[in-house]
Structure 1
Amino acid sequence: MGTMETLYVIKKDDFWKRAARFWMKLFGINFAIGVATGIILEFEFGTNWSNYSWFVGDIFGAPLAIEGILAFFMEATFIAVMFFGWNKVSKSFHLASTWLTGIGATLSAWWILVANAWMQHPVGVAFNPVTVRNEMTDFSAVAFSAAPAMKFLHTVSSGWLTGCVFVIGVSCWFLLKRREQPMAKASIKVAAIIGLFSALFVMFTGDQSGLQMAKNQPMKLATAEGLMEGGKDVPFSLVPGLKIPGMLSVLATHDTNGYVPGINDLINGYTDPVTGEKHLSADEKMVKGRLALNAFRDFKKYEKTDQTKKDSAQLVLNKNMKYFGYGYIKDKHELIPEFNFNLIYWAFRIMVGIGILLILVMASMLWYGYKDKLENNRWLLYTAICSIPLVWIAGQCGWILTEVGRQPWAIQDMLPLSAAVSGVESSSVIITFFLFLLLFTALLVAELTILLKAIRKGPEPIVESK
């Protein structure tokens, strides 16, 4: 939208204004549904995850508050100008509003993903046993460390790719129907350029995220590969029975000789043969976790009655706080998301496979678009239309890998799901879940109905105000 409106302002050609307004209308339909569904999620932290919210609310709540106060209000303010300001404000001011809407949405993503990345790799915090809360000690570590930065870049670039695939798919539908062909071809060229860049950037940031996953969440990586025994020069399986020698070591360490621990290594403990670093077994971590929990209980017990015992308990707590979450684990096998093996394994491969396909689609669209031969390649037009659900599936697979892969942790190594949930009846959660499922399904049907109607109607003629 921003690129097309920029071309309109520079070239003073209503062709680009008409194209930009059409895509804005489709964006607006999706934006409205996004607001309606997104706000509900934040309330769930208080209803279904009250222990989690209490335990880390000082850290987790801060980026969400910044997102709501700064980014969302910025986005909401300028989106009003973007939709209703045509012919009411100057061209340059309207163009700025369009770009600021995009910037606001991007800033929203930043703060939301900072919160999510912190759950995957908690840093910059200290536990206060007096308040029973984790408190932020280093805002820059929480907001600007490598984990949130890479998660942000990977997620936002995949969002750009999703938007480009949508624009190209709808434009290809117009070409198949032999309608709005000039606008469709122009839209494909713009979206293919941005989409190809986005797809390549998604691949790069995904590679960097893999390095972080290997370092901070090795169990997730081992589960995604189904790797039981680690080693050097570890192969990567494209599909069961077909492996690329040394590829998993390259993905995890950028070195074919890099060591990748397997599930058994992570459970039983191991020494990295490359660095010589010793890693504790799950049993050892659970022992230290229970020491931390017991020390915390002693701290609260003697907090107001015995200063000496209180201080002694705090020393033990501080020494073992790194393993606090393991104190809640009853069986070390809980640390292995065994029932998720196939789900995580295939989610990763579907995501990567669709990503490679979309790079080929973007490159083909760009090539045939500039050769002006798109109409002659109906197979490519149909492939582009089918890519709309595929890019959505790829995004969902990425989130399955991210969220299911870190089980059983709500916060990695700090708080398991069993300790994070609210004390409500499971029946209440089940009922509300299915109520929301019905509500969101109805919203999805309404969105698709309105969206398809708007696409079939096509872009509206430009009417300048007097």
Structure 2
Amino acid sequence: MELLNASLIDWSRAQFAMTAMYHWLFVPLTLGLGVIMAIMETMYVRTGNEQWKKTAKFWMVIFGINFAIGVATGIILEFQFGTNWSNYSWFVGDIFGAPLAIEASLAFFMEATFISIMFFGWKRVGKKAHLAATWLTVLGATLSALWILIANAWMQYPVGMEFNPDTTRNEMINFWQIALSPVAINKFFHTVLSCWILGGVFVVGVSAWYFIKKRDIEFARQSMKVAAVFGLVASLLTAWTGHGSAYQVAQKQPMKLAVMEGLYEGSHGEGLIAVAIPNPDKKSYNDGIEPYIFDIKIPKALSLMGYNDFDAFVPGIKDIVEGGYELPEGGKALSFTEKQTKGRTAIQALADYKIAKKAGNETEAARFKEVLRENYAYFGYGYLETPEQLIPNIPMVFWAFHIMVYLGGYFILLFTAVLFFLYRKNLESKKWFLWTCVWSIPLAYIAGQAGWIVAEMGRQPWTIQDVLPVQAAVSAISTNSVIITFFLFLILFTALLIAEIRIMLNQIRKGPGSH
């Protein structure tokens, strides 16, 4: 694995990020709207009320439009692991490929099987059989997300593997350790629940538009009730899993937590930023410039969030780079220089091992293999040159994290207000609030994108935490080819997005009566 020029790395990262962000415009609505429409069909089967059937069928059409277009971006995203990140695929393909293969063969198969019954089986199967097909379609989509998120969580917290110096590959030794990783489980629930929020906001917003236009009021009221209750429960659960995510990040990726808060120097009983403006003059972790123009903190809340202890020490960026602080599990944290030395020792030991094996010197090969094993945890640091490479883009991660948190609080208030006005039976007269609901739809998408920026930008420079940085994972291909395909994909995905929006708006204008 050779270090390649920065231009290729940057364009490869940009292409993958662009594809992922477009893909995440389609996935959340699929997961959130799927559950909502299944709840509505359940109400139809239980009550026999044809209005519920009419409501469920309308949202099912919107689901289908979004689902179909989302598949295309997902396929291209997975192909990029082979085209743009072939070193990564070689290095960990035995592990990373397993959950993706399960996702394709099990979850995607379920979706493909039952979605046809869901759309075309209304007059061909009984009510309960159709309802089962709807729920199984939703389950298939959710399981698809589960296995993809397990793969992503493993990149954040690599477990259940062992490095084989003979093949220069990581090999899986414990599948269940990967599948049941605490990072994976928490990431799954937090991500899926955030998709439920988007589904709730989307249905509330579209229903509000019908109220504004004074048409299909009964349909809009039914939809809004289900979506608001569903969204409020999802919002509260997302806040709870957000705490779990922060705890996992603090334990496994302390640099990410420090960057999320713009924390340069840690302390015991560290506060959580409530409101702050980062100082644009702050350029380095050790330049002595104050990190904020002003800030308001919730006392000791970051220590509680990250370590479940009001007085726990939370390391800042400077602490992580320089090391020397006490670790929760005991011992002192290593500095960047110490980790870099261990990483380079591991890389050299691997080279020496191969030479010894080729020469048939088994004694020396065994000695170098042991040196490699002792230092492998810091293998990736051997590819880094300076401490600054270890630090993600602080302003981007900081603002993405806080925008996500602020919007999460906003959605709790929004769903609560919707239910309050529905209970008071005066929602129709609150035109300002109805328009607020409509314009909240893009805010839900922004919150989802911000969450992924925190997750992925926050772990840079790593493709695999501590083991493989991006410069050692990228394919040795022409930069021009990446640039060309970047713009081709950008045009394609933008066209798909515009097509989806136009088709969905057309269906919304037609209303539930057209189905």
TM > 0.5 fold call? yes
> Match of 2:341?
287
Match of 1:95 among 127, 131, 143: 131
1:145 CA drift (Å): 1.6
Instruction: From the superposition, tell whether residues 294 and 126 of structure 1 become closer, same or farther in structure 2 (CA, over 3 Å).
Output: same
1:244 CA drift (Å): 2.2
Instruction: From the superposition, tell whether residues 273 and 14 of structure 1 become closer, same or farther in structure 2 (CA, over 3 Å).
Output: closer
Q: Is 1:84 the counterpart of 2:138 in the alignment?
A: no
Query: Residue type matched to 2:304 in 1?
Result: V
Instruction: From the superposition, tell whether residues 407 and 461 of structure 1 become closer, same or farther in structure 2 (CA, over 3 Å).
Output: closer
Q: Secondary structure at the match of 2:381?
A: helix
> Match of 1:239?
276
Match of 1:27 among 43, 63, 66: 63
> Match of 1:458?
511
Query: Residue type matched to 2:236 in 1?
Result: L
Q: Is 1:387 the counterpart of 2:424 in the alignment?
A: no
**Aligned residue pair count:** 460
> What's the TM-score once normalised by structure 1's chain length?
0.97
Residues 51 and 420 of structure 1 are in contact (CA less than 8 Å); yes or no, is this contact kept in structure 2? yes
Whole-Å Cα distance in 1 between the matches of residues 483 and 514 of structure 2? 49
Instruction: From the superposition, tell whether residues 250 and 64 of structure 1 become closer, same or farther in structure 2 (CA, over 3 Å).
Output: same
Percentage of pairs with the same residue = 55
What do you get for the CA RMSD once the two structures are aligned?
1.1
> Match of 1:123?
159
Worse-superposed segment, 295-304 or 131-140: 295-304
Matches within 5 A, 1:300-449: 300-305=354-359, 306-337=361-392, 340-449=393-502
Structure 2 runs not aligned, ≥5 long: 1-36, 278-293
Whole-Å Cα distance in 2 between the matches of residues 16 and 388 of structure 1? 23
Match of 2:318 among 255, 264, 282: 264
> Match of 2:222?
186
Whole-Å Cα distance in 2 between the matches of residues 76 and 162 of structure 1? 24
> What's the TM-score once normalised by structure 2's chain length?
0.88
1:247 CA drift (Å): 2.0
1:365 CA drift (Å): 0.9
Whole-Å Cα distance in 2 between the matches of residues 388 and 274 of structure 1? 41
> Match of 2:73?
37
Q: Secondary structure at the match of 1:176?
A: helix
Q: Is 1:146 the counterpart of 2:199 in the alignment?
A: no
Residues 327 and 333 of structure 2 are in contact (CA less than 8 Å); yes or no, is this contact kept in structure 1? no
Whole-Å Cα distance in 1 between the matches of residues 298 and 231 of structure 2? 28
Q: Secondary structure at the match of 2:425?
A: coil
Structure 1 runs not aligned, ≥5 long: none
Residues 189 and 370 of structure 1 are in contact (CA less than 8 Å); yes or no, is this contact kept in structure 2? no
Whole-Å Cα distance in 1 between the matches of residues 329 and 453 of structure 2? 31
Q: Deviations over 1:44-78 (max 9, x none)?
A: 00000000000000110000000000001101111
Whole-Å Cα distance in 1 between the matches of residues 71 and 377 of structure 2? 37
Q: Deviations over 1:223-274 (max 9, x none)?
A: 1111111111112222222222222212212222111001111011122286
Whole-Å Cα distance in 2 between the matches of residues 369 and 457 of structure 1? 25
Residues 324 and 333 of structure 2 are in contact (CA less than 8 Å); yes or no, is this contact kept in structure 1? yes
Whole-Å Cα distance in 2 between the matches of residues 392 and 167 of structure 1? 13
Worse-superposed segment, 119-128 or 301-310: 301-310
1:449 CA drift (Å): 0.6
Q: Is 1:248 the counterpart of 2:302 in the alignment?
A: yes
